[in-house]
Structure 1
Amino acid sequence: MSLKVTTRNFTNTKKVDEEFEAYKKIMEEEFENYKKNIEKKWKNPIVLSQKVFVKYSNNYKARKIVDFNNTTVKIEVLRPQNYKKSS
């Protein structure tokens, strides 16, 4: 039994690099837009990191926060602007 090994020669690495840089730029812009949407609703916006997972609802009025360092899970919901405490 023989094993045939093939290699690929990427002759157009410049194009691949350019496409990747364009993709990176789009992703960074989208992430900035995402953060701006969060900041419109929350006084203390939190975005995900390697230590914290954050999931916002579609309207950004609720969020789930998983803190892996402190092994905690927190669910937060924004109060409506016309919220009044009942006495």
Structure 2
Amino acid sequence: MSEPIKIFGLLVVHPDQEALIKKHCFGDCGKISIAGAIEDPQTGGLAVCCEAQCPWLQGEMDEPYGTTMSFGKEHAIYLRAITDTPETHQDA
């Protein structure tokens, strides 16, 4: 049995995150799911990342924010924030 995929949601419309997501997630990392987006009225939408190890991680939720149907199954979504300082690893 395979390990469940952990889905991370990135706040693309948040003023402090938008430029960082473009620079790192779509730029130097490039591992964000370009076909994935989660429509969420509370956040304005989330970009999808499935990378467990993020070099630009500022913090992420310990408990799921919600769920999404991805890859044919329901998965928990954890909000993640990134930074310009690699491996800061602060709580979100």
What TM-score comes out, normalization by structure 1 length? 0.26
Bigger fraction of residues in helix: 1
From the CA coordinates, give the structure whose radius of gyration is larger. 1
